[in-house]
Structure formats: C-alpha cells, structure tokens
Amino acid sequence: FFSTMGLILREFYSPVNPGQFNPAYRNILKTLGLDVVEIPTTHDTRWTVTPEQIAQAHAKKPIKGIVLASPNNPDGTMMEPDRLEAVANCCADHGIRLIMDEIYHGLVYDFPTISALNFSGDAIVINSFSKYYCMTGWRIGWMIMPEGMARTAECLAQNLALSVNELSQITALAAFDATEELETVKAGYAKNRQYLLKRLPEIGLTSFHPPDGGFFIYTDISHLADDSMIFARDLLHEAGVSVAPGIDFDHCQGSKYIRLSFAGTKEDIEEGCQRIADFIAKRVK
C-alpha cells in the first residue's frame, strides 16, 4: 500500500525541508519513496527560507513542491507578509506547489497573521484543531486546496481513514463557540512568553529569536555544551526539567540548540527556569 501511495504522491510534489522542520514530515515522505531536498535555514534569516534559496535549489534539481510552516516549529518564527508573498510568487514562477502548514495560526503575538492563500490560489494549506483550539490528540483538522485536486485528495483520504470519528467532529464544532476560553489560554501563553524573554537571558540563555507564534522558544546552548541531546538528558536527570534537543528538528545544526515549551502554568515555568539556572550555574563553575 505505501509503495502505491508513494507513486501517486510523486505525481504531485517532492517536498523541501526548510531546515527547522517537523521530523514527521521528513520521515513520512521518505517512507513514501519521495526525494526530500533540504534547504538549510539559519538564525540570521530567522529560520525562514528565502525565495532565492528556493530558486537555487530548484536550479540544481527540479522541485515539485515545498512544505513550509508559519509559525514555525520549533522556533515560533513567522514569515513577514512580503516574504511570504515573495515565496508564493517564486513557487508560482517555477511551477512548485506551495504546501503551507498554518497549524499554529491563532497563537500569534503582535505579528501580522497572513495565510498563504492571500497570495496564491494554488497553495495547499494545512490546519488543525490541535493548537489554538487545544484539541491535541483528537486528530482533527482541515486542508484547503485547489478544487481540481479535491477528488485526488479524497481518494487518498479514504485509504488512510474513512472519516474523522463522530465525537471529534462534534467537539470541534463546539470549539468554535469557545473563543473566550481559548483567548484566556492564549493570554496565559503570552504572559509565559514575556516572562521567558526576560528570564532566559538572566540565566545565561541569550541567543534566540522571540517567538512570533506558537508556544516554544528555540535557544542556542553551544556556549554550554557541544551536544544538545546530552545537555537535554543531563538537564532531565539532574534538574528534572524536560526540553527537546534541537537534533530532533535539525540534523545539521540541531546539536547547538534546545526547544523549551511555555505552554505550562506560570508557576511551573518559573520553577523550571530556576532549576535550569541552578543547572547552568553548576556547569559554568
């Protein structure tokens, strides 16, 4: 089944990995037999891909599609509207299908939130109830695509899952009426974000972009350790704090970074920071 599905999908796109990239995308696409072309991004470009990089990669080896996320995971950075428009135009000029992961839309802080659909009628947009609607694990979301692709997507979906279960559908509909509660949750994230932007530099974590959206901070720890996996393991065992090593997201530069989540309570965030501070203090003695 998977080999057949891979052959079908290859007709549409061979996605590009923009550096910081959900590992599930890369692994699933490789499992399906697709060639994944990786475009490294850097701290200097706010971990976002540029039109020039896409054009250069396409010139080396024709690309049929590109998967991008804004806000990004693990760093929460977003593309400015003009950058997103330039990327959409670049894809259109080169015949590249733009597939946009907008799952963290709704959880954005003081940054213009523009969908790729504002700039491209050919884009495919992926979204979910998992993040803003606090329904992680309910496995329900939506996909917007050009009308001409709908029947193909329907045929693929029928082979993956006949439909979303009824309970998840009912709950998702109810979530549309929970804006007040959801905005309260988001306000909590925003307060935690502001706390971390001030607190992390105080404890020795200074190199990171303030996240535009989501609930993560992706910070450089290369001045403290050579391997983020070992750093994360030691932090867990010695301080009881769990962070994600950057290698989970970026197999090239990820050993220099860790991802911290600020989706918890204010008290847990404060306690976690103090434990990290004590852990770092021991390492730098």
> What's the pLDDT at 84?
96
pLDDT for res 281: 94
Q: Flag whether pLDDT at 5 surpasses 80.
A: no
pLDDT at position 20, please?
A: 45
CA-nearest of 210, 219, 207, 280 to 249 is 219
The pLDDT of 28-40, averaged and rounded, is 86
What is the dihedral sign for C-alpha 82, 13, 215, 127?
positive
pLDDT beyond 90 at 6: no
Q: What is the distance between the alpha carbons of residues 255 and 21, in angstroms, rounded to a whole number?
A: 15
Which segments within the chain are labelled E, that is strand?
16-17, 37-38, 65-69, 97-101, 124-128, 141-144, 216-220, 244-245, 257-261
Residue 134's pLDDT band (cuts 50, 70, 90): very high
For residue 23, name the pLDDT band (cuts at 50, 70, 90). low
Q: Do 262 and 189 touch, CB atoms closer than 8 A?
A: yes
**pLDDT at residue 255, as a whole number:** 95
Whether pLDDT at 69 is above 50: yes
C-beta of residue 247 within 8 angstroms of C-beta of residue 174: no
CA distance 70 to 22: 12
pLDDT at 9 over 80: no
- Contact of 49 with 88, CB cutoff 8 Å: no
Domains in the chain: ranges and CATH:
2-175 (3.40.640.10), 179-284 (3.90.1150.10)
pLDDT digit string (tens) for 219-270?
A: 999 999 999 999 999 999 999 999 999 998 888 889 999 999 999 999 999 9
pLDDT at 215: 97
- Mean pLDDT in residue range 149-175: 90
Which two three-digit tokens encode residue 201? 């530099």
What was the pLDDT predicted at 26?
80
Residue 19 has pLDDT above 90, yes or no: no
At 119 the pLDDT is 97
pLDDT value for 285 = 63
Tell whether the model's pLDDT for residue 3 goes beyond 90: no
Q: Is the dihedral of CA 85, 116, 88, 104 positive or negative?
A: positive
Q: How far apart are CA 269 and CA 276, in angstroms?
A: 10
The angle subtended at Cα 98 by Cα 61 and Cα 79, nearest 5°, is: 105
Mean pLDDT of 136-152: 93
Q: What is the mean pLDDT of the chain?
A: 89
pLDDT at 17: 38
Q: Which range among 28-32, 82-86, 136-140 has the greatest average pLDDT?
A: 82-86
pLDDT at 217 over 90: yes
